[in-house]
Amino acid sequence: MAADTSASVSTDIVSFVIPLIILSVSGSAALASSMDALQVAVLCVLGLAGGVIQDRYDRKKLMLLEGGALVVLYLLSSAVLIASDALHNKALVWLLVPILVLAAVRDGLLGNTSNVMLRGIVPDDQLPKAMSLNDGRDAVVGMVSGPIGGALMSIGRAVPFLTGACCGLIALLTASRITRYWHRGAEDEAENPHESEQSAESVQSEEPAQSVQSARSMEPAQSVESAHDATAESHAEGATRSTVLESREPQESATDAESGERSKEQPKWREALAGLRWLFAGTFQRRLTVAAMIVTGGSNAFLTITTLEVSEGGSQAVSAGFVSAAVSCGMLLGAVIASAAVQRVRGGVLVALAFVTLAVGFAGAALSSSTIAKAAFLVLSVLFLPAGNAVLGGFGNILVAQDKLGRVEAGSSLTQYGSYGLCVLLAGIGMQCIGYAATCWILAAVLVVVAVYTLSMRALITLPTPDRWAEHIQQCHISRFE
């Protein structure tokens, strides 16, 4: 927790000031957003390779490598900024480009490591609560990072990077003290303590690489009558399957041994796309992935151009920081709600609330002219987001085997960061060409459409509490990646 928190503080402070520095030097909102888009593009290109790396190698060592790279890159950025301040160098943007690209390389190859490690530390039934606590932590970090970043930038453009390097060093030292976590080569029970429960609920194909094609999923938009028919058929199929399995009992031990040996094999580089293929293989994963892509891109683009608008061309960095802090305050309140609700309230209800409040909040912010009103609507928009993230993140994690989480996280990051980069780029261009207000209205309309699209997913809105997820997966025929 301490390592992840320190790294988050470091990256959040620097991420906040980078577009403001570029905007203050160039005076172009499009260029400021383009630099962010460039980093995202590099991250997306390398993200899939990063997923294989995180599944192949010791994740603690990868965290140490990530922390060391962060310290070096931020110190190098500080040196460039100090030199540019002394020389009044107007070519600062081009001096920073190689460093920012290297930072994106680090994020692409190693950035998801701490997220992938979480399931190896926390039991499956506690994942939603752990993720809600992470959201609360991130909210606090985001709440202080904006104002701190703005205040540090007012002292000097290099100061935020020096601060980030110090936080990165703390992350490096604390990560070195992690001792208990899942790693390749551990006992089967340590790899997946719930494997025995899951094996009774999922049907494995003969080859793990073909599990995506053989997995079945239920169409969320089915009518009530067809859902009853599907349930009846599943009972019949279950009876038949149990008979077949009984006839195969003499072969089970050999099959289990073979699959256990395969699970310990390191993934091949050609399997880098396996996680991405699984995300789009079944109806449930595919529709949810598309919705997450649009929401991630649209909401972050909205927040980015709002920050640029409030900063008034980069001259009001502190004001922009406090708008960012207002959003983080909403996330913090939401994390408190999530920690109490995820184990008691049906997951589908929390996810529906997350999407609806997000759409309503951004629509209200787009229609508001006052900065205070915008901040209030933005707080509303993220109020149930931590709960929704905890439910979707926890549910998604238990669908994936421990040794494949890196590739699935990489595939998810590719889709969401790709959407984020494209939306931020288009929003920056739109802000410059048609104005801030018109661009916000377009983004808000897109988020409203996505909310309606998501609420049409029956398998999602009927999601129960975490203790009944295994039953829900079986009833809705949601595919696993094992």
pLDDT in tens, 398-417: 888 877 888 888 888 888 88
Residue with the larger pLDDT of the pair 50 and 124:
50
As a whole number, mean pLDDT of residues 291-317 equals: 79
The total of other beta-carbon atoms located within 10 Å of residue 418's CB is: 19
- What is the structure's pLDDT at 120? 66
> Which CATH code is given to the segment(s) 2-177+272-475?
1.20.1250.20
Give the confidence band of 348 by pLDDT, cuts at 50, 70, 90: very high
- Locate 209 and state its tokens: 């690489």
Percent of the chain predicted with pLDDT > 90: 14
Residue 433 in this model has a pLDDT that exceeds 70: yes
- What is the structure's pLDDT at 115? 72
Residue 313, sorted as left (phi over 0), alpha (psi -120 to 50) or beta, turns out to be: left
Distance between CA 429 and CA 71 in Å, rounded? 33
Residue-averaged pLDDT of the chain: 75
- What is the structure's pLDDT at 251? 42
As a whole number, mean pLDDT of residues 346-353 equals: 93
As a whole number, mean pLDDT of residues 146-152 equals: 82
Highest mean pLDDT: which of 192-196, 220-224, 235-239, 302-306?
Answer: 302-306
- What is the structure's pLDDT at 161? 92
Residue 372 in this model has a pLDDT that exceeds 70: yes
End-to-end CA distance of the chain: 28
Cβ neighbours of residue 344 closer than 8 Å, sequence gap 6 or more = 465
Distance between CA 281 and CA 201 in Å, rounded? 19
Q: Are 14 and 70 in contact (CB under 8 A)?
A: no
As a whole number, mean pLDDT of residues 350-374 equals: 88
- What is the structure's pLDDT at 351? 93
- What is the structure's pLDDT at 155? 87
Give the confidence band of 193 by pLDDT, cuts at 50, 70, 90: very low
- pLDDT 10s digits, 47-60: 888 888 887 887 78
Give the confidence band of 7 by pLDDT, cuts at 50, 70, 90: confident
Give the confidence band of 287 by pLDDT, cuts at 50, 70, 90: very high
Cβ neighbours of residue 254 closer than 8 Å, sequence gap 6 or more = none
Query: Which of 88-102, 124-138, 205-219, 326-340 is predicted with the least confidence, judged by mean pLDDT?
Result: 205-219
- What is the structure's pLDDT at 162? 92
- What is the structure's pLDDT at 439? 92
Full-prediction pTM beyond 0.75?
A: no
Residue 346 in this model has a pLDDT that exceeds 90: yes
Which CA distances in Å does 25 have to 12, 81, 203, 327? 21, 12, 58, 27
Domain ranges of the chain: 2-177+272-475
